[in-house]
């Protein structure tokens, strides 16, 4: 039973991890992108568009290759995510809009866009629900299927899709880049004190654009993962944005560190799946458990402000736009 719970938790982890990794990267450059839930929805929409296109190109499910399917799906999810980041940066950096307002507006837009694409594809009479199911299961078990596992280790870590491995790799890569490289140092400088970075010769706008675009693209994969892996490709209007909000909470919970984010995401997923697998006696208790991730995030927020350790705080210029006054 516990192994099954762990497996389920591991399976859910990337849905949080992608979102939080992307958002952490964005926030490290000083951009508070509350559009993450919307961007994750855009990822789903991108995945649907991609698979639709590929289906038209290859002329039916029978001729499809799993690898190309995967490439199409991921490419379009990344594309829409990057586009979201570009729009967000354009509004906040170039047009100097308020980041909070822009982010929230984008969340609303993303959810709406996801719904629109979903309805369009559903009503286009094109194949059945199982079309997605079949396509996606190929991505799902590129390596080894759950049934073929011989031991628990294989069951827990081996029998996962490409996206699952990608989520952890990206999280570690982002952590390394941010912590250990010059570029990472520059990104952090922009997020901590944009004026200082500017005086040191760093182009603040470029850095914010690029990190936000990359971060959003990563976040979009979170939505896609939820769609293909958790929904097993079923055409079903899921609440992807809820995972987006949890991803944003996770950023705070992990103190803006993507390597810690892996543990945080596993914990969130564990708490999320616990009532489902064990079947808690009452629905109230069920709800209580699902509430826990939010609750611990609040506790963490209280703790970091109580201890007031500067290194553990949010980036100094988070949410603050930067304009060099006059030249």
Partner 1 sequence: MSPSLLVLLNMKKNLVLQLKNISKSFGKVQANSNVSLDLYEGEILSLLGENGSGKTSLMNIVAGIYFPDSGSVEIKGEPVKITSPKDAFKYKIGMVHQHFKLVDIFTATENVVVGLDKKTRASILEDSENVKVQETKEQPKENILKRVFNFITKSNLKDSADRIKNICNKYGFVLDPNKRVCDMSVSEKQTLEIIKTLYRGVDILILDEPTAVLTPQEIDKLFAVLRKMKEAGKSIIIITHKLNEVMDISDRITVLRKGELIGTVNKVDTSIEQLTEMMVGQKTELNIERSEPKGKEKLLEVKNLSVKNAFGHDVLEDISFELKEGEILGIAGISGNGQKELLEAIAGVQPIANGEVIYHRLKKNKPVSFYHKSLNQIKTLASEGAFHTSKGEKVNFEGITNFEIRNRVNNGEILFNDNETMLLKGKNPREIRELGIHLAFVPEDRLGMGLVGNMNINENMMLRSYRKGNGPFLNFKKPRDTAEKIINELEVATTSANVQVKKLSGGNVQKVLVGREIAYAPSVFMVAYPVRGLDINSSYTIYNLLNKQKQNGVGIIYVGEDLDVLLALADRILVLCNGKVSGVVDARKVDKRELGALMLGK
Cα 121–chain centre separation: 23
Indicate the helix (H) or strand (E) that contains 74.
Answer: helix 66-89
By CB under 8 A, name the one of 23, 27, 55, 192 that touches partner 1: 192
By CB under 8 A, name the one of 33, 36, 193, 216 that touches partner 1: 193
Q: Does 310 bind partner 1 (CB under 8 A)?
A: yes
Q: Are 40 and 219 in contact (CB under 8 A)?
A: yes
Total residues interacting with partner 1, rule: CB under 8 A: 23
Q: In whole angstroms, how close is the CB of 82 to partner 1 at the nearest point?
A: 24
Distance CA 21, CA 219 (A): 7
Residue 301 has which token pair? 């927020």
Distance CA 299, CA 28 (A): 22
62 or 326: CB nearest partner 1:
326
Q: In whole angstroms, how close is the CB of 27 to partner 1 at the nearest point?
A: 14
Q: In whole angstroms, how close is the CB of 192 to partner 1 at the nearest point?
A: 4
Q: Does 83 bind partner 1 (CB under 8 A)?
A: no
Buried b (16+ CB within 10 A) or exposed e, 31-41: bbbbbbbbbbb
Q: Does 201 bind partner 1 (CB under 8 A)?
A: yes
Distance CA 120, CA 237 (A): 12
Q: Does 59 bind partner 1 (CB under 8 A)?
A: no
Distance CA 39, CA 25 (A): 14
- What is the per-residue binding string for partner 1 in 255-294, x denoting contact by CB under 8 A? ----------------------------------------
Q: Which residues bind partner 1 (CB under 8 A)?
A: 179-180, 182, 185-186, 188-189, 192-193, 195-202, 310-311, 313, 316, 326-327
């Amino acid at each position: 039973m516990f192994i099954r719970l762990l497996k389920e938790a591991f399976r859910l982890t990337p849905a949080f991890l992608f979102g939080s990794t992307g958002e952490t990267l964005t926030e490290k450059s000083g951009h508070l992108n509350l559009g993450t839930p919307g961007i994750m929805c855009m990822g789903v929409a991108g995945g649907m568009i991609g698979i639709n296109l590929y289906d038209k190109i290859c002329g039916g499910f029978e001729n499809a290759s799993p690898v190309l399917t995967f490439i199409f799906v991921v490419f379009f999810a990344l594309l829409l995510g990057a586009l979201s980041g570009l729009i967000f940066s354009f509004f906040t950096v170039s047009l100097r809009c308020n980041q909070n307002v822009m982010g929230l507006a984008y969340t609303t837009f993303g959810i709406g866009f996801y719904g629109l694409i979903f309805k369009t594809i559903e009503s286009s009479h094109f194949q059945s629900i199982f079309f997605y199911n079949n396509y996606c299961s190929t991505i799902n078990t590129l390596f080894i299927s759950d049934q073929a596992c011989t031991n628990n280790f294989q069951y827990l870590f081996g029998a996962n899709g490409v996206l699952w491995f990608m989520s952890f790799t990206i999280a570690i890569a982002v952590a390394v880049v941010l912590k250990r490289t010059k570029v990472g140092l520059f990104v952090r400088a922009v997020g901590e004190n944009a004026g200082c970075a500017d005086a040191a010769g760093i182009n603040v706008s470029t850095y914010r654009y690029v990190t936000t675009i990359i971060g959003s693209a990563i976040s979009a994969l979170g939505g896609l993962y939820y769609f293909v892996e958790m929904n097993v490709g079923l055409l079903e209007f899921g609440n992807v944005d809820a995972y987006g909000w949890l991803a944003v909470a996770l950023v705070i919970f992990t103190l803006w560190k993507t390597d810690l984010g892996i543990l945080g995401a596993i914990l969130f997923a564990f708490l999320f799946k616990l009532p489902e697998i064990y079947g808690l006696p009452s629905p109230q208790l069920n709800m209580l458990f699902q509430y826990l991730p939010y609750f611990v995030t609040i506790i963490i927020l209280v703790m970091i402000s109580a201890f007031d350790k500067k290194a553990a705080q949010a980036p100094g210029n988070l949410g603050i736009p930067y304009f060099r006054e006059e030249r």
